[in-house]
Amino acid sequence: MSDNGSDFEPEITAFMCIYCAYMAADTAGALRIPYPANVKLVKLPCTGKTDTRYILKAFEDGADGVYVVGCSLGNCHHVRGNERAYARVQRTKKILDDIGLGGERLDMFFVSGGQGATFAEAAEKMTERIRKLGPNPTKVHK
Amino acid sequence: MSTCFLAYFLTEERMIVGEQKPLEEIKELIGDAEKVLVAGCGTCVAVCFAGGEREAEILASVLRLAFQVDGNAKEVEEVTVQRQCEWEYVDPLAEQIAESDVVVSLACGIGVQTLVERFPDAWVVPGLNTTFLGMPQEQGTWVERCQACGNCILGLTGGICPIARCSKQLLNGPCGGSQDGKCEIDSELDCVWQLIYDRLSRMGKLDLMLKFQPAKDWSSSRDGGPRKIVREDLLMLQEEGY
Over residues B77-103, the pLDDT tens digits come to 999 999 999 999 999 999 999 999 999
Q: What is the pTM of this model?
A: 0.91
Query: Chains A, B: CB contacts under 8 A, how many?
Result: 43
CATH, domain B11-132, list 3.40.1000, 3.40.50, 3.40.1580, 3.40.390: 3.40.50
Residues B149-162: tens digit of each pLDDT: 999 999 999 999 99
Smallest Cβ distance to B69: which of A51, A52, A99?
A99
A55 touching B, CB under 8 A? no
Residues with Cβ within 8 Å of B105's Cβ and at least 6 positions away in sequence, in order, are B39, B41, B51, B84, B111, B112, B115, B124, B125, B126, B127
Nearest Cα of chain A lies from the Cα of B78 at a distance, in angstroms, of: 13
d(CA B44, CA B83): 9
Span B58-75, average pLDDT: 97
Smallest Cβ distance to A53: which of B58, B64, B65?
B58
Pick among A53, A80, A88 to test the B interface (most B CBs inside 10 A) = A53
Closest CA to B36 of B129, B130, B122: B122
At position B230, the amino acid (one-letter code) is V
Residues B18-46: tens digit of each pLDDT: 999 999 999 999 999 999 999 999 999 99
What ranges do the domains of chain A cover? 12-140
Domain(s) labelled CATH 3.40.50 in chain B stretch across 11-132
**A 58-77 → B contacts, CB under 8 A:** 59-60
Provide the mean pLDDT of chain B. 93
Fold of the domain spanning A12-140? Rossmann fold (3.40.50)
Name which residue leads in pLDDT, A106 or A139. A106
HSE-up of A33 (CA within 13 Å, CB side)?
18
Residues with Cβ within 8 Å of A89's Cβ and at least 6 positions away in sequence, in order, are A50, A55, A68, A106, A107, A108
Query: Nearest 5°: phi and psi at B135?
Result: -145, 155
